[in-house]
Amino acid sequence: MEPQAFIELVAGSARQSYLNYHIFPSITIAQAILESGWGQKVPVDSTTGRSSYNLFGIKGTGPAGLVTTVSKEVVNGETVSHPSEFKAYYNYQQSIDDHAQFLLKPAYKKVLMAQTPQEAAQALSKAGYATDPQYADKLIRLIQNYNLSAYDQFTPEEPSPYPPWKLDLGKRALREGLITSPEWLGKLDEPLPAWAVFAIALRLLDKQRQVP
């Protein structure tokens, strides 16, 4: 598959995912390119040939079950098989959304708070997302070389679950430590349960008392 064809294949899903999870589409596309080898490394079941649509190599059981791949290596002159089970999805949108949900963990909150894709790439690396020390640089090069930032632009007519002012308030609350998990950015219109109100109030008190 040609690079631009692969980009177009996943770009729509990356943009749709952004509306719910607020991760730059350019970052999602670059990660999909890097981790799937332009789609060539998407796990395929060794027995049935069924594609997993798994762009990020996430192991486990997904909405469409799982696929089993078998790799072989020679150990002490003998060929040894190593089966691996990967999540299977019905389409790339599910894969991208599952990956975005993984990044909602508190460890990655600076990825969502980033003002630019470059900041998001560095935040991923600093949070320990990948063991490759060049991971952030590779993402940034892909974004620059293929102009992936163009997919971060949205017209006013395009749907968004929240108006910009609500999202800005949510991100500021996250940055200031009033909320501790990026998951709250997807719940901006939900009523807060009492425990959440107490938690925010207590964090405000802690800040006033300079408690870390």
Active site amino acids: 73, 98
**Nearest to residue 148, comparing CAs of 27, 6, 32, 17?**
27
Quote the CA–CA distance of 49 and 151 in Å, as a whole number. Answer: 32
Q: Between the CA of residue 86 and those of 29, 122, 132, what are the distances in Å?
A: 20, 27, 21
CA 196, 99, 147, 144 torsion-angle sign: positive
Q: What is the largest CA-CA distance in the chain?
A: 66
Can you list the pairs that 153-161 forms with residues at least 24 positions away whose Cβ atoms lie under 8 Å? Answer: 154/15, 159/19, 160/19, 161/19, 161/20
Quote the CA–CA distance of 185 and 47 in Å, as a whole number. Answer: 41
Beta-strand ranges (E) seen in the chain are 66-75, 78-87
Two tokens, residue 42: 């998407």
Residue type, 60: G
Quote the CA–CA distance of 31 and 14 in Å, as a whole number. Answer: 11
